[in-house]
Amino acid sequence: MDNAAVQWECCWDRDLTSLEDCPNLHEGDGDLLASRPRRFLEKCCDCDRFKTDLSRFRESGHPLAPFFAILHNDYRRQRSQIQSLGSFLDTKTLEVRFLHELGSVLQSSVDLDEVLSVALTAITSGKGFGMNRAFLLLADKERHFLRGHLAIGPRSAEEAGRTWQEVSTSDLDLQHLSRAFRQHKLSAERDKFQDILGRLVISMDNIHHIVIRSLEEKKPLLVQNAFQNPDVDQELAQLLGVDSFLILPMLARNRRVGAILADNVITRQPITEDDLRSIETFTFPVAFAIERASLYERLQVEVTKLQDANQRLQEQQELLVRMEKMALVGRITSSIAHSIRNPLMIIGGFARSILKATPEDDPKRGFIDSIVSEAQQMEEVLDEILTYSDALYPVRDFWDVNQLVETVLRDIQEKALSQNYACRFHPAEGLPSAYLDYKQLSYCLRNILVGTIDGLENGALEISTRLDGDRIEILIDDRSRRLSEDELEALLTPFAETHEMGSGLNLALCRNMLEKQDVPFLVVAPPDDGIRYSIKLPTRKEEEP
């Protein structure tokens, strides 16, 4: 075949100068004008005119013609393969990028809600796996049941249209999408799907249940024809209301963490094996992230408990140090008091002896009398100090508080009557027993009452008991006196003195005794409203729950 004599229809054998010279050349193909081999491979091989030329060549009987036709066909087949491989590669690249983004987000979070938001957003977002709806089931703490925990997706076509429109215009990446979901929609979605989530409860012992089977076999399942499928629990199919859905088991270090169910309830688009394989790769990091976040959550609970315990320990330590100091003060005062006691007793004793032997009209009798009474007074002070220092180890038991108050009131009755001081008791009925040191509490009450009555006539005291939570409160209201803040402070300070009520040793001692028994003792003196003492007694031993 003489090439010069043949007029070929296609332009493959000619040099071209303009795009108009070839109907297959378009704008942007300018560089092909300069390279005939590239133009031939990219354009002519698919050109119908070239195919016609090739037929004519075959018809010419040239021995190379059949071989040339084979080459042409094979070249086109291989090129098509390369193109589809390229497109597959592009898809996979996008998938890998998405998984990488997902992985980064999941790895960086230990917040369970954030992890769950990311996981479910990834499944349902168009940039992710594009499913319509997803349900997350989590194993409970005891690993007995899988329970519906969270869901995402529209419940109607209208909602779907609205949401997808919003998402498509927002142009957010996965991290921002999931963050927006977590901040604005998480609890709303949970509420929205509560009717389904509440019923999504699967016993983890039920190995025949398709979700548990997926977990046992550690492989995701694509469920088809759910309503007719004998392997599918019909309750589950009815609950989801779809014929086809995915089950994605989530396992972390062989621990069954939960499962995700995903479907296309709105679009009814078929779910393919390819969808299954794509999503499968994502379940591992999600499961690990969920497990890690759950563990972190538990760790946080333990850390909080530890912090609380540490704080309590610190408080106890401070209390111990305070008690140690008090005990030291107690030991010192006790030692001094005992050293003074014997000489004081001797002075007082001999003074009394001399007084007895001194005639009534002796002018020195008054002096001796003073020695006796001063020594007596000092002995009384010593008694107070010794009681204060001895009050270190209370002996506690359960006692009837009303009875205790009545006994103390009987003890001071004579003194109250002598000063025309009215003491009225209003006991609460049906009180439980209180856990207290009878001797010490009696002492404290007596001290408070005597201190109140002392030096004042025609006053009135109201004493009452009441149940306050798990404690019994004794209230003593003294409306006959007024105290300023400074005087109140002095009242509770050992050896300080108030104009109104004398030495502060008694109340300081009471507070010390009661604090050691973990009994709050409060004294308040609102301006122009008297003084109120409050003692709150426990009704159970501290170690009891």
Binding stretches for other proteins (CB under 8 A)? 338, 341-342, 344-353, 356, 372, 375-376, 379, 383, 386-387, 390
Q: Which is nearer to other proteins, 350 or 367 (CB)?
A: 350
Strands 422-426 and 460-468: parallel
- Asked if residues 160 and 166 have their Cβ atoms less than 8 Å apart, the reply is no
- Asked if residues 483 and 496 have their Cβ atoms less than 8 Å apart, the reply is no
**Which conformational region is residue 476 in: left (phi greater than 0), alpha (psi within -120 to 50 degrees), or beta?**
beta
Q: Which is nearer to other proteins, 341 or 532 (CB)?
A: 341
Minimal distance, residue 541 CB to other proteins, in Å? 22
Minimal distance, residue 362 CB to other proteins, in Å? 19
- Asked if residues 43 and 33 have their Cβ atoms less than 8 Å apart, the reply is no
Q: Helix crossing, 438-453 with 505-516: angle to 10°?
A: 150
Minimal distance, residue 513 CB to other proteins, in Å? 15
Q: Which is nearer to other proteins, 386 or 460 (CB)?
A: 386
Minimal distance, residue 296 CB to other proteins, in Å? 55
CB within 8 Å of 403: residues ≥ 6 apart: none
| Nearest alpha carbon to residue 114 among 270, 286, 261, 241 | 286
Task: For residue 87, give both structure tokens.
Answer: 């497109």
Q: Which is nearer to other proteins, 386 or 431 (CB)?
A: 386
Q: Which is nearer to other proteins, 349 or 502 (CB)?
A: 349
- Asked if residues 473 and 534 have their Cβ atoms less than 8 Å apart, the reply is yes
Give the bridge partners for 150, in sequence order: 136
Spatial separation of the C-alpha atoms in residues 537 and 515, rounded to whole Å: 11
Minimal distance, residue 352 CB to other proteins, in Å? 6
Q: Which is nearer to other proteins, 356 or 410 (CB)?
A: 356
Q: Which is nearer to other proteins, 379 or 518 (CB)?
A: 379
CB within 8 Å of 455: residues ≥ 6 apart: 501, 502
Residue 28, classed as helix, strand or coil, is coil
What is the amino acid identity at position 149?
H
Minimal distance, residue 346 CB to other proteins, in Å? 4
Q: Which is nearer to other proteins, 359 or 430 (CB)?
A: 359
Q: Which is nearer to other proteins, 110 or 327 (CB)?
A: 327
Minimal distance, residue 447 CB to other proteins, in Å? 16
Minimal distance, residue 376 CB to other proteins, in Å? 7
Minimal distance, residue 510 CB to other proteins, in Å? 18
Minimal distance, residue 444 CB to other proteins, in Å? 17
- Asked if residues 391 and 360 have their Cβ atoms less than 8 Å apart, the reply is no
How would you class 242 by CB atoms within 10 Å of its CB: exposed for 0-12, middle for 13-18, buried for 19 or more? buried
| Nearest alpha carbon to residue 54 among 2, 22, 23, 9 | 9
Q: Which is nearer to other proteins, 151 or 382 (CB)?
A: 382
Spatial separation of the C-alpha atoms in residues 378 and 60, rounded to whole Å: 145
Question: What's the length of the chain?
Answer: 545
Spatial separation of the C-alpha atoms in residues 355 and 352, rounded to whole Å: 5
- Rg of the chain over Cα atoms, rounded to whole angstroms, equals 48
Q: Which is nearer to other proteins, 214 or 512 (CB)?
A: 512
Backbone φ and ψ of 537, nearest 5°: -100, 140
Spatial separation of the C-alpha atoms in residues 534 and 531, rounded to whole Å: 10
Spatial separation of the C-alpha atoms in residues 131 and 260, rounded to whole Å: 12
| Nearest alpha carbon to residue 424 among 467, 358, 476 | 476
Q: Which is nearer to other proteins, 253 or 356 (CB)?
A: 356
Minimal distance, residue 347 CB to other proteins, in Å? 7
Minimal distance, residue 532 CB to other proteins, in Å? 32
